Amino acid sequence: MYSKREDTKQGSMRVVVDHFDSLGDYVRHAESNPTKGSSDAKRDTDWAGTGSLAEACELAIHGWDEKRPDVDKLFAQLETDIASAMDEPFTTYYSHGGDSVDMGRYMSGDPECMVDYVTEPQARMGRVVRVIINGAMSCSISADDIVRRGVAVVALLDVIHKLGVGVELAVEMPVSSGNTKYSTVVKLHDSSEMLDINNMMYAVCHPSMLRRLAFGAIEQMPTEMFTDYRYGYGTPSEMQRKAGYDVAVEKLQDGHGGLVRDPVAWVLSTVKGLDLVA
């Protein structure tokens, strides 16, 4: 069951946002649906990545590490580029005594001409990066592209973690239909917890996160709040709750090109944009 429901107006649109404190809560909500539609359709195995809602829930709870080798391969490509950023930097201090002499200062008569090099923790230490992913996408997006985008995002989380930075992660699945926008926001990881990449794989990479679990949530919406799901599950929409996040990964249509085609460049540019590496 959702922990909180927001029901607001944006102009003529009604906006309903359900918040879930964990993936487990989201799975239990999807499972509780008494009138399953496409969330449990046996015909959608390739498209949804699973044969049933029960199978999707099983993967979500027990983990899906099938694509972990792809994440490790991507991180190996990134490792050379960020290796120097992994080391503790040296801060230079000038004093009357030290390890070496600064000849420029010495020749100018500056008494503080001796140089001492002291290591200091990176400014990034103790920092927390908050990441939110738009998990909504149209039916035309292939399962393979969903997985490829997810692998890039998981690699980003892995890099941030290995740089000694805390990570908070959420996924939002916003759709619109008629005069209603409906969104579910699921908290996947808190910075106070140990980061388990394998546990992130399902929610970030697997197509059934949307095409089974999110559909299961939509199927429980009252028809007066949302178009009858038998006639469609809405149109992928913009995230409603990305304010306050450091990285917002937009819906796949919007970030399809570079993120899927060149994930190494995307991860590096994102990490640099966060001022985590030079």
pLDDT tens digits, 127-137: 899 999 999 99
- If one counts the domains in the chain, the total is 2
146 domain residue, yes or no: yes
pLDDT tens digits, 172-227: 999 988 888 999 999 999 999 888 887 788 999 899 999 999 999 988 887 766 65
191 and 209 together in one domain: yes
222 domain residue, yes or no: yes
144 and 230 together in one domain: yes
Query: What integer pLDDT is reported at residue 80 of this predicted model?
Result: 67
Cα 130 off chain centre by = 8
Both tokens of 65, joined, read: 């590490």
132 domain residue, yes or no: yes
168 and 65 together in one domain: yes
Helix, strand, coil shares, percent, the chain, to 5? 40, 25, 35
Both tokens of 117, joined, read: 């090099």
pLDDT tens digits, 221-264: 877 666 555 567 888 999 988 899 999 998 887 555 677 778 88
51 and 174 together in one domain: yes
Q: What is the dihedral of CA 24, 29, 34, 35, to 10 degrees?
A: -110
71 domain residue, yes or no: yes
188 and 248 together in one domain: yes
74 and 145 together in one domain: yes
Neighbours of 61 (CB within 10 A): 14
13 and 35 together in one domain: yes
110 and 150 together in one domain: no
Q: Is 179 exposed, middle or buried (0-12, 13-18, 19+ CB in 10 A)?
A: exposed
104 and 187 together in one domain: no
278 domain residue, yes or no: no
Both tokens of 74, joined, read: 């991507």
215 domain residue, yes or no: yes
**Contact status, residue 101 vs residue 114, Cβ threshold 8 Å:** yes
**Full residue range of the structural domain in which residue 115 is found:** 88-119
pLDDT tens digits, 180-191: 899 999 999 999
Of 119, 142, 165, the residue that ends a domain is 119
143 and 172 together in one domain: yes
137 domain residue, yes or no: yes
93 and 218 together in one domain: no
On the question of pLDDT at 117 being above 60, the answer is no
3-state class (DSSP) for residue 227: coil
230 and 265 together in one domain: yes
Query: What integer pLDDT is reported at residue 254 of this predicted model?
Result: 59
Q: How open is the CA angle 258-262-266, to the nearest 5 degrees?
A: 70
Query: What integer pLDDT is reported at residue 109 of this predicted model?
Result: 80
Overall residue count recorded for the chain in this entry: 278
Give the residues across from 157 on adjacent strands.
none
